[in-house]
Amino acid sequence: MYIIKNKKILKSFGQQIDQLNTLSGGVSMAQFKVSNKPDKMVVTVVAPSVSPELIQVQVEYNKLMVYATLPQKDENGTDQANVNFPLFAQVIQIPFHVDVEQIYAVFENGKLNINLPFAEGRLNHRKTISIERS
């Protein structure tokens, strides 16, 4: 049996297989569940085999973006700048009454829970507008 003596070749080959698998449809099938509670909205993300360090959560205007990328590594094992492979991505519309400054995320038991609390003053605020005549 022939044993590969140059471990760099073997490691490089393994990284290429991992990258090709990711690019050829081997993306993680993350599950997203959105639930509404009386005081907040909760987004639960289950992404098997995805490290929480790879997951990003961002809010832009009225959209919550949850995504994960796999960084490209060079032969020394360090991340290459600006080269990432997507694992999953999801954009969720958030209600206008979410207090963006109070959003927080917790990763436990293999699940990411993103809590979007509602702003107190805007939750059930209703007003009838009178119509003036000119």
Widest distance between CA atoms in the chain: 95
Span 93-106, pLDDT tens digits:
998 889 999 999 99
Number of C-beta neighbours around residue 45 at 10 A: 22
Indicate the pLDDT class of residue 119, thresholds 50, 70 and 90: confident
Report the C-alpha gap between 72 and 78 in whole angstroms.
Answer: 8
Whole-prediction pTM: 0.67
Name the pLDDT band for 21 (thresholds 50, 70, 90): low
If we measure between CA atoms, which residue out of 47, 9, 43 comes closest to residue 30?
47
pLDDT at 1: 46
Give the full edge-to-edge strand order of the sheet including 63-73.
55-60, 63-73, 79-93
| Residue of 29 and 89 predicted with greater confidence | 89
Percent of the chain at pLDDT exceeding 90 = 36
Domain residue limits, the chain = 7-122
The CA-to-CA distance between both ends of the chain, in Å, stands at 95
Cα 27–Cα 32–Cα 38 angle in degrees, nearest 5: 165
Task: Work out the mean pLDDT of the chain and round it to a whole number.
Answer: 79
pLDDT for 24 = 46
Pairwise pLDDT comparison (126 vs 70), residue with the higher score: 70
Instruction: Tell which CATH architecture fits domain 7-122.
Output: Sandwich (2.60)
Look at residue 37 in the predicted model and tell me its pLDDT: 92
